[in-house]
Amino acid sequence: MTTGLQATETRLSPQQTHALGQIWQVLPEARLVGGVVRDLLVGRAVADIDMATPEPPEQVLATLKKAGIKVVPTGLAHGTVTAVIDAAPYEITTLRRDVETDGRHAVVAWTSDWQEDAARRDFTINAMSRGRDGVLHDYFGGRDDLAQGRVRFVGEAATRIEEDALRILRFFRFQARYGGSQPDPEAMQAITQQAALLRGLSVERIWSELKRILTGPNVPDVLTLMDQAGVLAVLFPEGVACARLVRLVEVGAPADAVLRLAALAPEDKAGLARRLKLSKAEGAFLIGVSDGPVPEPGMTDADLRRLLVKDAPEVLLGRTWLRQAEGAGGADQDDWLALRSTLSAMSPPVFPLAGRDILAAGHPPGPQVGAVLEQVRAWWLAEGCTPSREACLTFLKKVLKSQS
Give the pLDDT confidence of 248-277 residue by residue, as tens digits: 999 999 999 999 999 999 889 999 999 999
Q: What are phi and psi of 112, to 5 degrees?
A: -110, 5
Give the bridge partners for 84, in sequence order: 70, 89
Q: How confident is the model at residue 151 (pLDDT cuts 50, 70, 90)?
A: very high
- Closest to 269 in 3D by CA, of 315, 205, 326: 315
Q: Is 107 exposed, middle or buried (0-12, 13-18, 19+ CB in 10 A)?
A: exposed
- How many C-beta neighbours within 10 Å does residue 342 have? 15
Q: How confident is the model at residue 10 (pLDDT cuts 50, 70, 90)?
A: low
SS (H, E, C) 145-202: HHHHCCCCECCCHHHHHHHECCHHHHHHHHHHHHCCCCCCHHHHHHHHHHHHHHHHCC
Q: List the 49-53 sheet strands across, edge first.
A: 70-75, 80-85, 88-94, 49-53, 31-33, 129-130, 136-137
Domains and CATH numbers, the chain: 1-148 (3.30.460.10), 155-235 (1.10.3090.10), 238-349 (1.20.58), 355-403 (no CATH)
**Which residues, including other chains, have CB under 8 Å from residue 236's CB and lie 6 or more apart?**
264, 265, 267
How many alpha carbons lie under 13 Å from residue 383 in its C-beta half-sphere? 15
Average pLDDT over residues 170-197: 96
Average pLDDT, the chain: 92
Q: How confident is the model at residue 368 (pLDDT cuts 50, 70, 90)?
A: very high
Percent of the chain at pLDDT > 70 equals 95
What's the CA gap between 234 and 107, in Å, rounded?
A: 27
- Closest to 97 in 3D by CA, of 80, 76, 75, 78: 78
pLDDT at res. 2:
42
pLDDT at res. 102:
56
- How many C-beta neighbours within 10 Å does residue 17 have? 10
Average pLDDT over residues 12-37: 94
**Which residues, including other chains, have CB under 8 Å from residue 375's CB and lie 6 or more apart?**
399
- What is the per-residue DSSP string for 325-342? HHTGGG--HHHHHHHHHH
Average pLDDT over residues 135-163: 96
Q: Over 60: is that where the pLDDT of 304 sits?
A: yes
Q: Over 60: is that where the pLDDT of 212 sits?
A: yes
pLDDT at res. 9:
46
Contact in structure between 171 and 200 (CB atoms under 8 Å): no
pLDDT at res. 330:
67
Q: Over 90: is that where the pLDDT of 331 sits?
A: no
Q: How confident is the model at residue 8 (pLDDT cuts 50, 70, 90)?
A: very low
Contact in structure between 81 and 70 (CB atoms under 8 Å): no
Q: How many residues does the chain have?
A: 404
**Which residues, including other chains, have CB under 8 Å from residue 265's CB and lie 6 or more apart?**
236, 238, 240, 241, 272
Q: Over 80: is that where the pLDDT of 106 sits?
A: no
- Closest to 382 in 3D by CA, of 359, 358, 344, 349: 349
* DSSP 8-state code for residue 136: E
- Closest to 305 in 3D by CA, of 342, 253, 353: 342
Average pLDDT over residues 289-298: 95
